[in-house]
Each structure stands twice: as structure tokens, then as C-alpha cells.
Amino acid sequence: MDKIAIVFSGQGAQYPGMGRDIYEKYPEARKMLDAFEHLHPGLLHLMFESDAEELRKTTNTQIVLYAFERAVSAVIAKHVKTGTAAGFSLGEISALAEAGVVSDEDGFRLTEERGKIMQKAAEQSDTAMLAVLKLSDEDVESIAEGFKNTYPVNYNAPGQVVVSLLKSEEEAFASAVKEKGGRTMKLSVSGGFHSPFMQEAASEFEKILASFVFSKPSIPIWSNVTGKEYEEDIKDLLSLQISSPVRWKDEILGMKDEGYSVFIEAGPGTTLTNLIRRIYPEAQVFPAGTVDDIEKIIGGLRNE
């Protein structure tokens, strides 16, 4: 039988109205989201009623995505058994909750604190994130070396690397990429994440993590920082992750080597679905951002 992995989206995948259909249809999702609403009154309004600009604020983006992902996972878990979990950036906290390292409620509290810290750090410098397309990792690294405040940060898939940079370097960097035969696309985020711009945020998050109790994972989970399975260093790597590159390509190839050939993306949109198809074309990949998506998964992957 095919081994199934569940993966959780990061910032940039959010959109207005996300999750309303899932909340209305599935009791498991409604119970989860109502519990998070109790922790953070106004959460459901953010998810269902706010506009794109409001959702783009890191303090809002992170809690909304975490809540959405855990609600989707609650529905999936009733019908499909998954054997490993990974998350892209913020999604890594959802993966920790999936593996029972933290409770869903503690995962929400961590996400809330993480969003505040990263928003504060983002406001201290005028930064942005650009996806660089059609160039190799090495080409992007070489171009970035020519700029004082531009850092390759997300190794997403073959031909796609994201950089964090000062906005003052954005135009010149984009021109350099174009000259090399690539192109850039600006991400819908509010800061230069996973870079030295976030060093102070990483240090603050380390202190917050110290007050939370982590349990042993019930299933393997994967680290953005190393691109490998977590071992005994979860808190250290989770704080370091905020200011370190995301090695997503390595994670997916690692799961492939472990025999995982089916991936469910628990989150809005199809960002990770598309990346996994590029990294591992033979894999079966299922988005799970809408009721229609979830019904297809239940119909096709339901445990016997």
C-alpha cells in the first residue's frame, strides 16, 4: 500500500473566505475552529470576512493558516491514515501538532506568539520576498552574493528559489535575474522571512518555546532547517527556522527515499501541491483546501 504524507502550507497561500465551506460541512472542522475562536475571539471573522490586505498582516496570517490547517487535518484523520508530516515555514507548527508534539491549543498559542514576533521584526526593516524562477539554485546564490542585503531563503523546487531582501535592492536584483534568463515574482508576505532580518525574532521565539512542554512525536516529522527528519532537537531547530532557509526540496526527496509516494496538502490553495509535482513527478499529490478537494481524498484514499 502507498505510504501517505501530510504537508502543511506556509504564508502566502491565504485568501479571503478560506475555510467557510469546510467549517459548514464537517463537524470535526467546526469543533476545531470553534475551539480556536474561543482562544482568539474574532478568528472566524478574519477567516471568512476579512480582505486580502488584512489577511496579509503576519499577526493575522499565521493564526488563520494554522487554524485552517488543523481543521482540515481533523477531517482527513477521520478517513485516511498518514505516516509522516511536514510543514512549510509556519506549517511546521501544524506538523508538530499533527504528530502530537504539542496540543492543537498549544500549537495555536505558539503560532500566535510567532506571528507577533515576526510582524515586529518585519516592521523594523523595509523588506520583501521574491520567488526567482527558471534559474538553478547556484545561479540564484551567485546573483545574491552581489548584493549586501539579499539572501536565498526558500529552496522550493527545481528552478524556484525565494530570496529575502531589502526593498531598496529589489529592482536591481530583479534586473540581474532577468539578465541571467530568469524572472521574479513578489510574494504576498509582509517581511523578509527566513533570513538574517529575522535573527532577533528567532531569539525571542527560542525564549517562548522554553515555556512549552513538547512530547515525543507519534509519527516522523521533518525540519525545514536540515531538510531531514527531526531527532531530539525540535525546539532548537524550530526557533532557528525563523531566520534560516527552508530546505523544502530536500524534505520531499527525503520522504521519497523513505517510501512516501502520496502527499496531502492540508492548507488553502495548491502551492505545495505544485512544488511537490516538480520535485517528485511520480508522486500522487492531493490538495485539501476545499470541500470538493477533501471529498476526492476521502473517496480515493479512505482506509479500508
Q: Could you list the active site residues?
A: 89, 194
DSSP 222: B
Q: Three cell numbers at 303?
A: 482506509
Indicate the pairing of strand 160-166 with strand 183-186.
unpaired
Phi-psi map region of 192: left, alpha, beta (phi>0 left; psi -120 to 50 alpha): beta
Measured from the Cβ of residue 221, the count of other Cβ atoms closer than 10 Å reads 21
What residue has cell string 463537524?
27
Strand ranges (DSSP E) for 142-213? 150-157, 160-166, 183-186
Cα(131)–Cα(114) distance, integer angstroms: 23
Cα(43)–Cα(37) distance, integer angstroms: 5
Burial annotation 48-79 (CB, 10 A radius, 16+ → b, else e): bebeeeebbebbbbbbbbbbbbbbbbbbbeee
Angle at 294 between CA 292 and CA 300, to 5 degrees: 105
Q: Helix, strand or coil for residue 128?
A: strand
Indicate the pairing of strand 284-287 with strand 260-266.
parallel
Phi/psi for 47 (5° steps) reads -65, -45
- CA-nearest of 111, 49, 71, 28 to 289 is 71
Cα(214)–Cα(223) distance, integer angstroms: 15
